[in-house]
């Protein structure tokens, strides 16, 4: 029921996913009157869908606390999340209110024990392929501890998505020199360097322009900056599309050129299509939830659904859980070793 | 002496500025052996230049404190800033170490009395023209008070640069709804709305994608986020250029199309040329200092110099000072009025 267009894009999006992933099965929650007629238009989808009617839908502009108050246990959003908890579904996908979706996911699924706060990760297109970027808006502000969690969860996702043993991880900062930047970012860099986790290769600081370059497999930042970087990049891409369109229609020669090169332009448009990289992955919860852009269409919603499909198929959550637990153990033993060294040093001083 | 290429780009850049602004005059500071032979290659520039030999140059990777220690009073950077203070120059332009340039500018020129911390503003190209965006990296972190200062200084610059009476001002946030975002940003929004300053039109919150849209004339954010947004946009633009080049050489048809449309591509390239919007303006100091990108070439350095020329010509500093003082007066009287209202209310309660 969520997003700017509700079932009108969700149902055709699901049908599109089914075409590409014929073994997908769907559990759909929403208002019967609005949803069922749309499902009926897609017989193949109908054949593999379990539909549950819900009376309540979370509105796009409600505060998370409001949505929890009236929508807990009974809204389509809550019940879709709960389906992942009960095992009826492997992954939940929603185009609804991000804050409410995160609040309900935390409440219903709970965070992993080692993770203080969940995060939203996205796949960022780069000239080298794609990178995992997180947090793009789950929480605002981050201490060093949380940034380290983000690095571990992001690396786990990169291992799954890019099939890498030791993905490279960078901390987003305002300069690559060690002297610059926020204290929490510097401290997180020190911790990651010292831990030297076997599941990731800590690269150091990266800057905003490293995002598009694909300098590292995983870019870590707190949610405010990450959200603004993501939307700035989307805005810049749209801005350049506008320039390009204007340039290609400014003269007859340009128009003729456009006709010759239209295959190339189509490929470029496809490459820059924001719908193809739609989907924020909630990390750090005991279940997988994917947030689709609220304003997307069926094609974009299908991308988010397919991202969820892949994450479930690759068992992302188990791998994140495993890596988070392993890094927590490693940190604990590093702390113990350092405490022992200190105690030994003190004993030596006393003697 | 600053930037990645030093006098090799600064001197031709100055010569280029002189071609376009024939009434410009130059005061140049640097190492005689490196600079003078270059000036000699540009007789017109030489005719309008006063050259001062300096023994010390600030290095690009020094900490600001180091640069201040060895470079105060005698480095080319310090002396160029000091020339603006003494009145020998109207504006200082440097491609050198940003941190050192800001530290020396603060030390030499001092901040305006009403401004706690100076900022770096840039002109951001948008589909509607240009916007002023600040702070893009002078200081990290900002309380509501500092964000309001940024809004006032940015609006003053927009009035000068865009010749507007009441430029629109937006606060960069992670959502346009009032419920979202960082506490300092929300508080700054409340203050700006209540103050309702005559010199600006406070628009409300904007998001990352509003930067490229040109939704407002002035976008305000703290330096960490602003710097990352700026570099993310630059990186995205370069990334799309790479895609475009690859698309235009992928087939014979595309290459033929490119030949027909090459005028349009040249116009697009020109529009996207990062050298044309080179130059960060230091605001809130008792003098104008322009920071050029360290990695730019002569064309880019000339853009920064011409930006400085315009700012000096339009008497930016006096206008910023005037507006900062006016808004401080207005705030003070708003506070007084509110205190009086409170006292009256208390008196009424007592009676």
Chain A residues with CB-CB distance to B99 below 8 A: 180
B230, two tokens: 């700026």
Q: Are B230 and B305 contained in the same domain?
A: no
**pLDDT given at position B350:** 60
Q: Are B207 and B96 contained in the same domain?
A: no
| CB contact A126 to B (< 8 Å) | yes
Q: How far is A227 from chain B (nearest CA, A)?
A: 6
Instruction: Give the 3-state secondary structure of residue A60.
Output: coil
pLDDT per position as a tens digit, A2-24: 999 999 999 999 999 999 999 99
Query: String of b and e for A249-277 (b: at least 16 CB within 10 Å)?
Result: eeeeebeebbebbeebbebbeeebebbbb
A240, B240 contact by CB (below 8 A): yes
* B115 within some domain: no
| CB contact B257 to A (< 8 Å) | yes
| Strand order from edge to edge, sheet including A168-172 | A92-94, A289-291, A280-283, A119-126, A129-134, A218-220, A168-172, A201-206
The answer to whether the CB atoms of A213 and B247 lie below 8 A apart is no
- For the residues A136-164, what does the mean pLDDT come to? 92
pLDDT per position as a tens digit, A192-232: 999 999 999 999 999 999 999 999 999 999 999 999 999 99
DSSP-derived letter for residue A290 is E
* B197 within some domain: yes
Q: Are A106 and A205 contained in the same domain?
A: no
User: Residue B4: which domain range?
Assistant: 1-110+285-314
Strands (E), chain A: 26-30, 49-53, 92-94, 119-126, 129-134, 168-172, 201-206, 218-220, 280-283, 289-291
Whether A178 shows a pLDDT value over 70: the answer reads no
**pLDDT given at position A351:** 55
Chain B residues with CB-CB distance to A229 below 8 A: 208, 228-229, 232
A281, two tokens: 């992955």
Out of B172, B174, B224, whose CB is closest to A174?
A: B224
A82, two tokens: 């709960």
pLDDT per position as a tens digit, A238-286: 888 888 888 888 888 888 888 888 888 888 777 777 777 788 999 999 9
User: Minimal Cα distance from B206: which residue of A?
Assistant: A228
* B117 within some domain: no
* A302 vs A326, higher pLDDT: A302
**pLDDT given at position A224:** 92
* A251 vs A131, higher pLDDT: A131
Q: Are A192 and A244 contained in the same domain?
A: yes
Q: Are A275 and A307 contained in the same domain?
A: no
Chain A residues with CB-CB distance to B239 below 8 A: 125-127, 212-213
CATH number of the structural domain spanning residue B12: 3.40.718.10
Q: Are B340 and B298 contained in the same domain?
A: no
DSSP-derived letter for residue A285 is B
Q: Are A89 and A193 contained in the same domain?
A: no
Q: How many domains does chain A have?
A: 2
User: Minimal Cα distance from B249: which residue of A?
Assistant: A264
DSSP string covering B309-320, please? HHHHHTTHHHHH
Q: Are A63 and A153 contained in the same domain?
A: no
**pLDDT given at position A56:** 95
A182, A141 contact by CB (below 8 A): no
Q: Are A163 and A90 contained in the same domain?
A: no
Q: Are A100 and A164 contained in the same domain?
A: no
| CB contact B237 to A (< 8 Å) | yes
Q: Are B29 and B56 contained in the same domain?
A: yes
The answer to whether the CB atoms of B140 and A248 lie below 8 A apart is no
Alpha-carbon distance values, B52 to A310, B1, B11, B26, B88 (Å) = 65, 12, 14, 11, 12
Q: Are A125 and A77 contained in the same domain?
A: no
The answer to whether the CB atoms of B237 and A236 lie below 8 A apart is yes
Averaged over successive runs of 10 residues, the pLDDT of chain B (351 residues) comes to: 94 97 97 97 97 95 91 96 96 94 94 90 92 92 92 94 94 70 90 92 95 96 94 90 85 85 80 78 94 92 94 89 87 81 75 55
Q: How far is A12 from chain B (nearest CA, A)?
A: 27
A44, A15 contact by CB (below 8 A): yes
* B268 vs A69, higher pLDDT: A69
- For the residues A163-190, what does the mean pLDDT come to? 84
* B116 within some domain: no
Whether A302 shows a pLDDT value over 50: the answer reads yes
Q: Report the mean per-residue pLDDT for chain A.
A: 91
Chain B residues with CB-CB distance to A223 below 8 A: 174
Reported ipTM exceeds the 0.95 cut:
no
Interface of A with B in 140-169 (CB under 8 A): 140-141
């Amino acid at each position: 029921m969520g997003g700017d267009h509700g079932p009108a894009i969700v149902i055709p999006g699901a049908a599109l996913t089914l075409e590409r992933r014929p073994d997908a099965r769907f559990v759909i929650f929403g208002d019967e009157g609005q949803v069922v007629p749309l499902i009926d238009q897609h017989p193949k989808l109908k054949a593999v869908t379990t539909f549950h009617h819900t009376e309540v839908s979370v509105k796009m502009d409600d505060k998370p606390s409001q949505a929890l108050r009236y929508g807990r246990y009974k809204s389509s959003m809550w019940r879709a999340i709960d389906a992942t908890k009960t095992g009826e579904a492997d992954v939940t996908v929603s185009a609804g209110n991000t804050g409410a979706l995160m609040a309900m996911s935390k409440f219903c699924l709970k965070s992993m024990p080692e993770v203080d706060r969940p995060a939203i990760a996205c796949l960022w297109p780069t000239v080298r392929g794609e990178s995992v970027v997180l947090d793009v808006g789950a929480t605002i502000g981050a201490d060093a501890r949380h940034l380290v969690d983000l690095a571990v969860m992001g690396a786990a996702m990169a291992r799954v998505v890019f099939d890498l043993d030791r993905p490279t991880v960078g901390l987003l900062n305002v300069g690559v020199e060690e002297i610059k930047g926020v204290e929490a970012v510097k401290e997180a860099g020190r911790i990651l360097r010292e831990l030297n986790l076997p599941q990731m290769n800590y690269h150091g600081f990266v800057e905003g322009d490293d995002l598009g370059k694909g300098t590292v497999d995983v870019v870590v930042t707190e949610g405010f900056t990450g959200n603004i970087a993501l939307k700035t990049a989307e805005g810049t891409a749209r801005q350049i599309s506008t320039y390009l369109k204007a340039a290609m229609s400014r003269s007859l020669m340009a128009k003729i050129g456009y006709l010759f090169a239209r295959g190339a332009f189509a490929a470029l448009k496809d490459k820059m299509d924001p719908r193809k990289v739609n989907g924020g992955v909630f990390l750090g919860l005991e279940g997988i939830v994917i947030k689709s852009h609220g304003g997307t269409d069926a094609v974009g919603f299908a991308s988010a659904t397919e991202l969820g499909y892949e994450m479930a198929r690759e068992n992302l959550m188990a791998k994140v859980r495993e890596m988070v637990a392993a890094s927590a153990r490693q940190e604990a033993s590093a702390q113990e070793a350092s405490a022992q060294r200190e105690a030994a040093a003190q004993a030596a001083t006393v003697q």
